[in-house]
Amino acid sequence: MTTITDTDVLSRVGNTSLVKLDSLSHNNIEYFAKLEGNNPFGSVKDRAAYWMIKDGEERGILKKGKSIIIEPTSGNTGIALTGIANVLGYKVEIVIPEKVSNETKEIIRNLGAKVFETSDDLCPKVGAGTDQSIALATSIASSRPDTYYSPNQYANEANFRGHYEGTGPEIWKQTEGKVTHFFTGVGTGGTITGIGTFLKEKNPNVKIIGCQPQQNHLIQGWRNFEESAKPDLFLKREHVVDDWVSVDNDEAFSVVKEVFEKEKLLISPSSAAVYACMKKYPIEGDACVVGIFADDGRKFRSVYATQNVMTEEEFDNTLKEAKHMSELAY
Ligand SMILES: Cc1ncc(COP(=O)(O)O)c(C=O)c1O
């Protein structure tokens, strides 16, 4: 646990770095990664968690010392909600699919949340009546509606607003309005619709490109729309997406080492999937391309060993040499 103060932690949500990817940039096309792992609890989800908790407070639903926040999540939202709720004085209960990496579950437990595991696939399957994480969270919350508050990131407008008012304007400013293409994966759709809506208001020609993982994928935080329904938050503004690129597990895992060797970045599976999509998507003429690297690689030691990406020893050496690994608040 670091010694940074509570207010420091909250002031560090957002304003993440945008770094140039020399390994992809060529001729008149520049590629950039927005490093969301630089958020205090290590992912893009710090933004959604912070905005949803603040919104709950402003609407008088969350009461300090009384309310318990409960949420079904595949990982990063659990870490972010628990970390931020701790700082603001709320208890948290997280319902998580057991397939999520042990490192992620450990972080959530160490941050102080009560964790319930279900035997779901990696992502809660919104809309599929069989999803156990969502069913369990709903059933616990309905037992004491005056105490429990579920932000429900899949439909919460504050999740969208965090990106529409935060990440989108940051990208516009960091690229000096030059961004022409934007790539990200979709979990709730908050990131792609929030940033996409903002960028298109600034320049309707900006292309918003969604990355789709294979069915039965291993990309924590993403969803494949053939095996899982589209969340309400995404459906509301899905028209902002101009194009989709598919990416399978092998394509994603195969670039992790390459990106370390060429960029000295230790990236997560979803960042690897974005990198692989940017690498294969055909773009002509002058362009400024931005991809979301939603978290960094440090939670994926065991996943990378199991998937034969690198041994645990190689991982530890990589971590020592990796650039842009900011200090996390846990
Ligand atoms: C690990 C991870 N979590 C979450 C997201 C995005 O989530 P959402 O669509 O819920 O904003 C991404 C998107 O790239 C991601 O890579």
pLDDT per residue as tens digits for the range 8-33: 889 999 999 999 999 999 989 999 99
Q: Report whether 194 contacts 162 (CB < 8 A).
A: yes
From the list 182, 188, 217, the residue with the least C-alpha distance to 34 is: 182
By annotation, the residues acting in catalysis are: 45, 270
Q: How far does Cα 155 stand from its chain's mean position? A: 16
Distance CA 122, CA 116 (A): 14
Report CA(146)–ligand 1 centroid distance (Å).
Answer: 30
Backbone torsions φ then ψ of 82, nearest 5 degrees: -65, -45
Mutate to test the pocket of ligand 1, among 41, 51, 184 (most ligand atoms within 8 A of CB): 184
Report CA(77)–ligand 1 centroid distance (Å).
Answer: 9
Distance CA 4, CA 10 (A): 10
CATH 3.40.50.1100 is the classification of domain 6-38+167-321: yes
| pLDDT (tens place) for every residue of the chain, 330 residues total | 444 567 788 999 999 999 999 999 998 999 999 999 999 999 999 999 999 999 999 999 999 889 999 998 878 999 999 999 999 999 999 998 887 888 889 999 999 999 999 886 655 555 444 467 888 888 899 999 999 999 999 999 999 999 999 999 999 999 999 999 999 999 999 999 999 999 999 999 999 999 999 998 889 889 899 988 899 999 999 999 999 999 999 999 999 999 999 999 999 999 999 999 999 999 999 999 999 999 999 999 999 999 999 999 999 999 999 999 999 998
Report CA(270)–ligand 1 centroid distance (Å).
Answer: 8
Pocket of ligand 1 (CB under 6 A): 44, 76, 184-192, 220-222, 270, 292, 294-295
Atom of ligand 1 nearest to the CA of 190: 11
> Order of strands, edge to edge, in the sheet holding 148-149?
114-118, 91-97, 68-72, 148-149
Residue 264 Rama label (left phi>0; alpha psi -120 to 50; beta): left
Give domain 45-149's CATH architecture. Answer: 3-Layer(aba) Sandwich (3.40)
Residue with tokens 């979803």: 270
In DSSP terms, 203 is beta-bridged to: none
Comma-separated ranges of CATH 3.40.50.1100 domains in the chain: 6-38+167-321, 45-149
Atom of ligand 1 nearest to the CA of 270: 16
Q: Report whether 116 contacts 94 (CB < 8 A).
A: yes
Mutate to test the pocket of ligand 1, among 222, 277, 298 (most ligand atoms within 8 A of CB): 222
